[in-house]
Structures are given as structure tokens and as C-alpha cells.
Amino acid sequence: MQTLTVSLGDRSYPIYIGKGLLADAQLLTNHLKSAQACIVTNETIAPLYLSQVQASLSGMHLSVVTLPDGESHKHWQTLNTVFDQMLADRHNRRTTLVALGGGVVGDMTGFAAACYQRGVNFIQVPTTLLSQVDSSVGGKTGINHPLGKNMVGAFHQPEAVVIDTAVLSTLPPREVSAGLAEVIKYGLLGDADFLAWLEDNMDALLALDDQALAYAIFKSCETKARIVAEDEREGGVRALLNLGHTFGHAIETQLGYGQWLHGEAVAAGMAIAAEVSAALGWITDADVARVRNLLVRAGLPVDAPAEMTVAQFITHMSVDKKVLSNRLRFVLLKSLGQAVVTEAVPLALLEKVLQASIARGLAASG
């Protein structure tokens, strides 16, 4: 087992990474504040791993909430089922919520913890690659709104993150690829050596090689933990973690949450961001080809959906959380391994890049 720390003063917490960690009850019980707990999971994960977590918490006042699976259920009505169960079972302010699932479960459980009796303890037990390397770390919680992804939520840090790499053996290949999008992001935004390592080891990652996965997860969490410790509430450097997300969130919102997986939308968004960066003269066409090639090798899309329009992209990006003073802000690449936040993107240039990406998406679809 490897352990990282997200350093936030008296709110610091560990990230445990290893194989078979669900069998280590102390990793959970050491972070409880009372003998009350509520496991929040979903219909896909519950048959696979719920019994192991329940065994770790045996003898406690324990509730279980099983949510429907998928991004399309990440809204108020689903969230309210968590509150209904906790209130019915008389959970108090010293209870602990345990998020057992992917990013949707983690985001919703964290938001429930932030809201229930004005804030209670929670632990992340992420079960997808994407949630292990990204959404479980950093305390961003929330739900979607029809007009924008993750637009309703709160910053609420967990007490611990328990990453059991063994659970990835049951992950569908499409979900593995979606998680790799976020792994690739860390190389692009701040670690050129890691990016090169990913190019050399992509086949091993897709084959779920234990050593390769453990290294990729550790490097990703290490980068995110460092950035979150420096900028918890995204006032500066943490915005770099949104590389590809401004375009990706527009795709998810327009198509309907869940049509494209989050990682798939982010992958296309990173490819578009690379193309905008090249159009600004910051990186070369060869750099763009390198980005696109790595994403394709990971099994990810690199072009916008054929059914979207430039106007739809602009509309959805205008309500992105990074918009300030009505100005679009983008995370772009000064080089492969160095990202920056900028407003300096002429609208005509942006529209040209988006139109080209949509056209390639259309050609590929048919």
C-alpha cells in the first residue's frame, strides 16, 4: 500500500492506494467519528463490493442507499433519497457517509455530506479509474443542472480516500478508457515526463497491468493532491485541472448527461484545447498529433460530436464555472506539460477550430 496526504492543515487527509484494500477494515473504521455510518453506492457496484464494505462496518448503526447508476441520475431527486434514508434511520451529526462507487456516487455522497445537518464526515471509496485518479480527491462535490454540469455543489473534503486497484478488474473497457483521459490530463498540464511514460505504457494500462495502474494512479493523485493543497477552492492553479473540461462539459450538457462518458467528453475537449493552442501559435501541429494519437490509443474520441453546432458550444461554455465578468476562460497548452489559463482566444479563431472538429466528427460518423 502507498499513502499520499492532501495537506490542508487540520483538514488534511490520506489517500490509500493498493490492491485488496477493501478487505482492510481499519482503513475505514480509523476515520469514523461514531458508530454510525451510511454507505451510498449504486445498482452496478452494490452486487460486486457492498458486502465487503458492510463487513468492515459490521456491528455499527449502518444504513445503505443504493442509487440508480449513471450521470443522468445526478440530480436533486436522486440526492434526496440519501437524505430520506438518513433521516428515517436517525443519523446524527457524527455519522459518516461512505461513497462506494464512481464519480457520480462520490460527487453526490460528498454533496449530501456537505448538506446533511450542515456538514458531516465522509469517506471516498472510488471504484472507477476516473474517480480514483480525479474526482475522489480534492473535495469538489455536486450535482448537475439541465443548463450546466456540476453547477450546484460545495467544496467538502473527505476524511480519507481508499483506492483499491483490484476493483478495476470488473471495470468495462469503455470505463477504463474514460479514466485514462484524466490520467493523460495530468501529463499534459504539468508533467512532460509522465506524458512520455504514458505513451510508452498505454498498452499495459489498457491491459490493466497491476504495476502500470498503480504507478499511473499514484502519479495522478500526487499531482492533484499537490495542486489542491496549494489552491483548495480554485482561485488560481487548481483551474489547470480543468484542461479539456470547458469543451467537455459543453458536450455533456448538450447531448444529455451520460450519452458520452465524462472522460470521453474531456478527451475530445483536450484535443480541441490542443488545436486552439496550436492556432494561437503556442504548440506545433506535431504536438497536436501527439495528443490526438495518445487519446486514440487510449480508446477515446478526439473530435466534437457531429450533431453539435458551434453556437451550441458557445452557449454552454458561456455558463461554465470558469467564466468571469462574462469572459470565456480556457485552459490551454503553452507546451506539452505546461498548461495555462487564458482569456486571450479570439472568437473567430475559436469558432474556426470548433467547426473543423465538428466536421471531422461528422466525417467519422458517416
Is 182 tagged catalytic? Answer: yes
Q: Greatest CA span in the chain, whole angstroms?
A: 63
What totals of helices (H) and strands (E) does the chain contain, helices first?
13, 11
pLDDT recorded at residue 15:
98
Least confident of 89-103, 289-303, 311-325: 311-325
Q: Give the pTM.
A: 0.93
Is 140 tagged catalytic? Answer: yes
* The three three-digit cell numbers of residue 172, written as one number: 468495462
What are the phi and psi torsion angles at 296 (to 5°)?
Answer: -65, -45
Is 249 tagged catalytic? Answer: yes
Kindly report, as residue ranges, where domains of CATH 1.20.1090.10 are found in the chain. Answer: 173-365
Is 242 tagged catalytic? Answer: yes
Whether domain 2-170 has CATH 2.60.40.10? no
Catalytic residue among 175, 182, 222, 275, which? 182
Architecture of domain 173-365: Up-down Bundle (1.20)
Indicate the helix (H) or strand (E) that contains 298.
Answer: none
Is 297 tagged catalytic? Answer: no
pLDDT digit string, tens, across residues 106-146:
999 999 999 999 999 999 999 999 999 999 999 999 999 99
pLDDT digit string, tens, across residues 80-112:
999 999 999 999 999 999 999 999 999 999 999
Catalytic residue among 242, 264, 290, 321, which? 242
Is 33 tagged catalytic? Answer: no
pLDDT recorded at residue 318:
86
Is 334 tagged catalytic? Answer: no
Is a pLDDT exceeding 90 seen at residue 366?
no
Calculate the average pLDDT of the chain: 95
Is 262 tagged catalytic? Answer: yes
Catalytic residue among 31, 149, 185, 262, which? 262
Is 245 tagged catalytic? Answer: yes
pLDDT recorded at residue 326:
66
Catalytic residue among 71, 159, 175, 234, which? 234
pLDDT recorded at residue 324:
58
What gap in Å lies between CA 153 and CA 134, rounded to an integer?
17
Kindly report, as residue ranges, where domains of CATH 3.40.50.1970 are found in the chain. Answer: 2-170
Q: Where are the alpha helices (DSSP H) in 116-258?
A: 129-130, 173-190, 192-206, 210-230, 245-255
